[in-house]
Structure 1
Amino acid sequence: MKAAVLHQYDESLTREEFVRYEDVDDPKIVRPTDVIVRIGGAGVCRTDLHIVEGIWRSKVDVALPYIMGHENAGWVEEVGRGVESVKVGDPVICHPLVTSGHCLACRRGDDMHATDSQFPGINTNGGYAQYLTTGERSLIQLPKSLAPKDVAPYTDAGLTAYRAAKKASRHLLPGQFVVVIGAGGLGHIGIQVLNALCAAEIIVVDRSDIALQLAKECGAHHTVKGDGNEVESVLELTGGNGAEAVIDFVGEGEAVAKGLAMTRNAGFYYIVGYGGKIELPTIDMITSEKTIVGNLVGTYPELVELMALADRGLVHLATREYRLSDANQALKDLHHGKVKGRAVLIP
């Protein structure tokens, strides 16, 4: 099969070629619960750029060359002898984690903390290819209204945004405020989820005019340009006290300190993006009683919930399609901020 393969890291992201489009061996059924999916779409994520940079070398045990791509959807191509819930030809979306289902975390539905798991595209071969090996437990059948290429990025970007927005929505009331920092690939989904799950006023902060326009299209009530005065602007919109919840999809540079400054006392700061540091005197934590919440990608049931919202038209993805052979262009466009929403590779 054809695949876009990572052969070497590039810490400066300056090489002409990040991945190499080439022939590789077809995946094989090994375990009775294995499923081979013919890829209909593979999302291109900023995490993939971090992988190219080598940031994940200390986090996962993976040897180059390997295939990235952790946002995948397509059609069932082949099944192991123990698979019963899907059949060849079924359109499916893949939860990004493949687990055994036997550990206590799995049984509690806490997929991301399973003791026995694989993460295609992170610690094993992923979906920047024509075919992907996953597990039966990871698959959700798609309704006729949703095509694989249109929903693939929901499996990480959408699911991560959904998890954070769902957490925030549980304590947001009408008349309250929630700030979304970053209206890109994750943020534009988070805005829609907030609109679907709660009645708080949504304020979106971003440096990009394109992203702010997308935020408006997705239902933001207020937009604030990230021009250095965003904290003051948010405080003015919220009556001087800040927002009850801030969801930070950037998580690096000045975004962290500014996000905390936008959070009112006893409010919640949800950190989703990464790369920066949270530096806060302990006395400020005590006197403000702010809660800082980390967010991994969501669970299998949360992906089912997100697909229900998408099926009803309450959430949609802004996507830009690329051929699999153009994976380098997709990665470079993402790196240089030229992608509105999410990039998707189509084999």
Structure 2
Amino acid sequence: MKAAVLHEYDEKLEKSEFVIYEDVPDPRIEGPNDVIVRIGGAGVCRTDLHVIEGLWRNNSDVQLPYIMGHENAGWVEEVGPGVTHFKPGDAVICHPLVTSGHCLACRRGNDMHAEESSFPGINANGGYAEYLRTGARSLIKLPKTLAPKDVAPYTDAGLTAYRACKKAAQHLLPGQYAVVIGVGGLGHIGVQVLKSLCAAKVIAVDRSKEALELAAKCGADELVLANGEQVDKVLALTGGWGAEAVIDFVGEGSAITEGLEMTRSDGAYYIVGYGGKLEIPTIDMITSEKRIIGNLVGTYPELVELMALADQGKVHLATAEYRLADANRALLDLHHGKIHGRAVLIP
């Protein structure tokens, strides 16, 4: 099969090509619950750029060369002898974690904290290819209203945004405020999730006017351009107190300090983006009683819930489609901020 393969790291992202489009062996059924999926769409994520930078080399045991791509959807091509609920031709979306389901975390539904797992695209070959091997336990059948290429990025970008915003929505009341910092690939989904799950007013913050325009289309109530005065603007919009929830999809640079400043006392700051460092005096935590909450990719049930919202037309993905052979162009466009929404590779 054809695949876009990462052969070496590029710590400064300076090369004109990050991956090589080449022939590789087809994945094969190795266990009774394995499933081969013919890829209909593979999302291009900023995490992929971090993988190329080598940021994940100490957090996964993957050996180069390997195939990235952890946001995948397509059609069942082949199933292992133990698979009974899927058949060739079924349209499916893949939860990003492949687990056995035996450990306590899995039995509680928290597969992302499984004692043993495979994460295609992170620590195993992923979906920047024509075919992907995954597990039956990770698959969700798609309704006829949703095509694989249109929903693939939901498996990480959408699911991570959904998990964080669902946590926030459970505590947000009508008349309260939620701030979304960074309304690009994840943030524009987060705005829609908040508007679907709660009645709080949503304030979108971004340095890109185009991203803010997208946030407005997604239902944001207020738009704040990050031009150095964003904290003051958010405080003014919230009566000087800050927001009850701040969801930070940037997680680096000044966004962290600003996000905490935008969070009111007894409010919650949700970290989704990463790459920066969080520093706060303990006395400030005590006197403000702010909560700082980390967010990993969501659970299988949460992906089912997100697909229900998509099926109902309450959440939409803004996507830019690229051929699998043009993976380098998609990665470079993402790196240079040319993609508003999510990029999807199509074999």
Band of TM-score, shorter chain = over 0.9
Letter in 2 for 1:300: Y
Q: Residue in 1 aligned with 2:96?
A: 96
Q: How does 1:109-258 map to 2 (within 5 A)?
A: 109-258=109-258
Q: Residue in 2 aligned with 1:316?
A: 316
Q: Residue in 2 aligned with 1:9?
A: 9
The secondary structure found in structure 2 opposite 1:58 is: coil
Residue-by-residue CA offset, 1:53-72 (whole Å, 9 max, x unaligned): 00001111010000000000
The secondary structure found in structure 1 opposite 2:56 is: helix
Tell whether 2:83 aligns with 1:83.
yes
| 1:292 to partner: Cα distance | 0.2
The secondary structure found in structure 2 opposite 1:314 is: coil
| 1:158 to partner: Cα distance | 0.1
Q: Distance in 1 between matches of 2:137 and 2:8?
A: 32
Letter in 1 for 2:170: R
The secondary structure found in structure 2 opposite 1:47 is: helix
Q: Residue in 2 aligned with 1:23?
A: 23
| 1:16 to partner: Cα distance | 1.3
Residue-by-residue CA offset, 1:215-242 (whole Å, 9 max, x unaligned): 0000000000000100000000000000
Letter in 1 for 2:101: G
Residue-by-residue CA offset, 1:77-108 (whole Å, 9 max, x unaligned): 00000001110000000000000010000000
Letter in 2 for 1:72: N
Q: Residue in 2 aligned with 1:333?
A: 333
| 1:280 to partner: Cα distance | 0.3
Q: Distance in 1 between matches of 2:300 and 2:23?
A: 32
Q: Distance in 1 between matches of 2:169 and 2:16?
A: 43
Q: Distance in 2 between matches of 1:14 and 1:276?
A: 21
Percent of aligned pairs sharing the same letter: 76
| 1:314 to partner: Cα distance | 0.2
The secondary structure found in structure 2 opposite 1:92 is: strand
TM-score normalized by structure 2?
Answer: 1.00
Q: Where does structure 1 lack aligned partners over 5 or more consecutive residues? A: none
Q: Distance in 2 between matches of 1:101 and 1:176?
A: 39
Residue-by-residue CA offset, 1:114-152 (whole Å, 9 max, x unaligned): 001100000000000000000000000000000000000
Letter in 2 for 1:91: A
The secondary structure found in structure 2 opposite 1:55 is: coil
Q: Distance in 2 between matches of 1:260 and 1:174?
A: 22
Q: Residue in 2 aligned with 1:50?
A: 50
Letter in 1 for 2:273: G
Letter in 2 for 1:10: D
Q: Distance in 1 between matches of 2:218 and 2:25?
A: 41
Q: Distance in 1 between matches of 2:242 and 2:196?
A: 22
Tell whether 2:39 aligns with 1:39.
yes
Q: Residue in 2 aligned with 1:108?
A: 108
Q: Distance in 2 between matches of 1:258 and 1:85?
A: 48
Residue-by-residue CA offset, 1:269-318 (whole Å, 9 max, x unaligned): 00000000110000000000000000000000000000000000000100
The secondary structure found in structure 1 opposite 2:21 is: strand
| 1:11 to partner: Cα distance | 0.5
| 1:325 to partner: Cα distance | 0.2
| 1:340 to partner: Cα distance | 1.1
Letter in 1 for 2:64: L
Tell whether 2:265 aligns with 1:265.
yes
Letter in 2 for 1:60: S
Q: Distance in 1 between matches of 2:296 and 2:234?
A: 26
Letter in 1 for 2:203: I
TM-score normalized by structure 1?
Answer: 1.00
Q: Residue in 1 aligned with 2:342?
A: 342
Q: Distance in 2 between matches of 1:218 and 1:16?
A: 34
Q: Distance in 1 between matches of 2:171 and 2:96?
A: 28
Q: Distance in 1 between matches of 2:136 and 2:119?
A: 14
